[in-house]
Structure 1
């Protein structure tokens, strides 16, 4: 058998020589290919990608009509029919994120399909398969950054050209909306791993005093920008550039406590002090947070680790909380918003798991 090149189509067979489907070759962190179809005769032609985009557009019609939100995912890899790339819409500015060199071979076909199906002002791409994650403009006229997007009647700044992230995680839209609706007016909120402060903005708009913590100094500027956009004075909102575990020690010394603590760490991180992974260390975050939650307060626990099942996540939460000897209940379990379409045939597509806990003592 001749070696496959990135993007080549191949038929995968089981030990009995039965065809399992048509795939394209694309090296990735979980394997070497993505399924295209059960139909072994499919070709990745221009008309194929146009049909994919037309179906994706049709399934998101309600979001295009929404008056309160103008940023959402318009194509979500495997969930919309073909894995290896996603496309997000930020108020008319489209961002393609490529996760495989294999699918990047069809860049021009995808770009032509996007232009034919969607309205847009600019189109950019990020090459996530490249260690440096370069960003390229694919249309003639560049956008003026920062972009301003609207979500559930709140506003956030967006940057395409500052590394792999854009300024907000669109997959957490429903969670921010949940924070907006919690019965915690005039309460206090601690937002750990705050990044650009999306959860903090939602809590502040709900009338809460917020404390945002992130180890990256850039986060302070992003948080201040987002509070300013939403006309939220910073007088009663605090920001710290600290390691989260150091923040726990600070809160303990100062006898600080909160009505809501949000924990949404990266799946993996490494610093001079420690190495963190969700599977091995998330319980330590919960143990540090529990003494800081007031009676009848909430813990909002989130992870995007695709290799950590919801059942395992919930079991870890329950075991850890029982060891803390506080009375609690599971209030709600949340996942991806509808525009982040998933498929049952690829469990990793349902990567986001968010659990809301209420303490009863």
Structure 2
């Protein structure tokens, strides 16, 4: 199964709040990270999301983050980020996060229906994106924090979305990629027809009841829905990453080890997810410790890093007996990425991964072998 489908299987399971059956195939290392370190889990989950993006989407996402980080490092920017993370909007982010990966994999093959039109209406009503974009664009322009949007509310305090959308379209014009995505998402023609429930569906075309010359195709509607979703995905990914600290994640994401020989000398390979590998140097322990108990061996090699595997007479004879003749152990730290459909891969207990051999690091460490009888 392709990596994209494995990621989506997991995300759809999460989006159901675990009400649907656990998928047979998905990225199982997510569960491992979740049980160990929630920040590592969030960081990796956000990184996996970027693998779903094509090159154009990646470039648009970068521009989106650059807009929100234009004043990065300033007191005002830090306060604004904190405001959206800590106030009531965090609840909105949490709720929306459940549906963030809803991908329209089947809709393009379905007939245009009232449900699809209603879905666009639902997406159009999401206000948090307008709120965030306006506040950060205002900060970029005025160096002032503005989160009330008083000028865009009616007497009852209801947001005048049409007016605000027009304002945002003007402000986003200098940012060509995000501007194009935003304009596709908030297509005035679609909103006017569907939003006012003043249309009929004829085949794959939505036609205005007032003026049958105003028509919207199924493709236009699906592109608008997907674009709104993409913008909200970017938003959630951005704030999700801002809510965690990456400072102490360089020892996370170790998913497996292997015992092998190199010119008849024992070597230990440690496999770490690349997104953690490139955060900084893994903090090794003073020595590698092997605790052998019956048919299990626990290998302790880094700060809070250990792996437990099967111990056998064959492993003892072919590897440990050789190691006892050496003063130090050669260790390879190797970055890995989830396998898509590559032919060359390694099979770890938790799944299949591709090794990035050109970036591996080598270290020689002292070792200790403890063999317990009980």
Q: TM-score, normalised by structure 1?
A: 0.23
Higher helix fraction: Structure 1 or Structure 2?
Answer: 2
Higher strand fraction: Structure 1 or Structure 2?
Answer: 1
User: Which of the two has higher C-alpha Rg?
Assistant: 2
